Amino acid sequence: MQENYKKKLIHHLHRIKGQVEGIERMVEARKYCVDIMTQSLAVEKSLERFNADLLENHLTEHVFHQFMHGQSAKATDEMLKIFKLKNK
């Protein structure tokens, strides 16, 4: 994993962890459902950004390497697997 992506991904994870802990506190305190849902949707968006950055790292590092070394079928299979998981 490229160092710049590693730092960015760790930053995303720390933010997501804080958001989830905040949601837990909101539920324990019986906060208004719409407020909790708003925070939950923010976590979803944060995870989407995390996944986009992780995918970008994978494409620029691993998929490029696979194509350059005759492993295009493996790269294609991996990307199709991710695409199918995302669209379930």
How do the pLDDT tens digits run along the chain, 88 residues long? 888 889 999 999 999 999 999 999 999 999 999 999 999 999 999 999 999 999 999 888 887 788 788 888 888 888 888 888 888 8
Q: What range defines the domain where residue 50 resides?
A: 3-86
pTM across the whole model: 0.80
Tokens of 2: 């490229």
Q: At what angle do helices 3-28 and 33-58 cross, to 10 degrees?
A: 170
Residue 17: predicted pLDDT: 97
Residue 8: predicted pLDDT: 94
The count of domains in the chain is 1
The values of phi and psi at residue 70, to 5°, are 70, 25
Residue 23 CB neighbours (<10 A): 19
Residue 86: predicted pLDDT: 81
CA torsion, ordered 76, 71, 48, 19, to nearest 10 deg: 140
The kind and range of the H/E element at 30 are none
Domain with residue 42: its CATH number is: 1.20.58.1000
